[in-house]
Amino acid sequence: EEHMMQSEKLTMAGQLAAGIAHEIRNPLTSINGFMKLMRSSNRNTDYYYDIIESELKRIELIVNELLVLSKPQAKHVSKPVNVLPILDQVITLMKVQSALKDIEIVFDTDDTSLWIIGEINQLKQVFINLLKNGMDAMEAGGTITVTTYSNEQEVLISVRDEGSGMTAEQVQRLGQPFYTTKETGTGLGFMITQNIIHNHRGSIQIESTPNQGTIFTVKLPKIKKPEDIE
């Protein structure tokens, strides 16, 4: 069984490496081409500078997202964390952008605290990614609802949007490195989300209906409120 896990890891790393090479080679090829054109051109080169600049930004975006993935994470996932204020902060942050797109973010919770073992910045990253994807999917505006529940063992957080939704095939591809349908997407967001949740010993479930919307449900192992322990 260990062998299988090892080979799965290699395949994943190989897949990722191939994707990175491809994604970074495209803008590099384009930069190279436009630099050559600029050298041989006696026309105004402002337009070429713009393209080169945006291609460099794209490389920077991809590299930044990959750095998040490459950080040693497991050892930070060790402190009791209350998920509620994290959700509160992330929602407040995202509301600034959502208002501009006619999107309302509703926080629907009856819980007063939801404790898990985790790392605050990574958890923020998860909910920022989910809310951002929800917003990107809602061209015409609408409501995103964040709901929390819990039972004896688990904390559940769901993010529901009224966006474009996905077909079964698209849901299947979600999380594959560099799978994106967005012009400026990297296709790394959901892979990072899954990776963080996995490091927190949790899981994520997707329910999606084309033209109706998507519900992402994150499940994380619950712990007792720290002051209740001992």
Of 108 and 139, the one with the shorter C-beta distance to ligand ADP is 139
CB 162 within 8 A of CB 143: yes
Q: How many residues bind ligand ADP (CB under 6 A)?
A: 22
Query: Which of 84, 131, 190, 220: binder of ligand ADP (CB under 6 A)?
Result: 190
Alpha-carbon gap, residue 191 to 173, rounded angstroms: 11
CB 87 within 8 A of CB 49: no
**Least spacing, CB of residue 168 vs ligand ADP, in Å:** 13
**Least spacing, CB of residue 63 vs ligand ADP, in Å:** 14
Query: Which of 22, 57, 79, 182: binder of ligand ADP (CB under 6 A)?
Result: 182
Query: Which of 98, 122, 125, 133: binder of ligand ADP (CB under 6 A)?
Result: 133
CB-based burial of residue 133 (10 Å sphere; 0-12 exposed, 13-18 middle, 19+ buried)? buried
Alpha-carbon gap, residue 6 to 134, rounded angstroms: 34
Residue whose structure tokens are 């709901």: 147
Between 152 and 181, how does the x/- string for binding to ligand ADP read (CB under 6 A)?
---------x-xxxx-------x----xxx
**Is residue 98 involved in binding ligand ADP (CB under 6 A)?**
no
Alpha-carbon gap, residue 203 to 189, rounded angstroms: 16
| Interacting residue ranges for ligand ADP, rule: CB under 6 A | 129, 133-134, 137, 161, 163-166, 174, 179-182, 185-191, 214
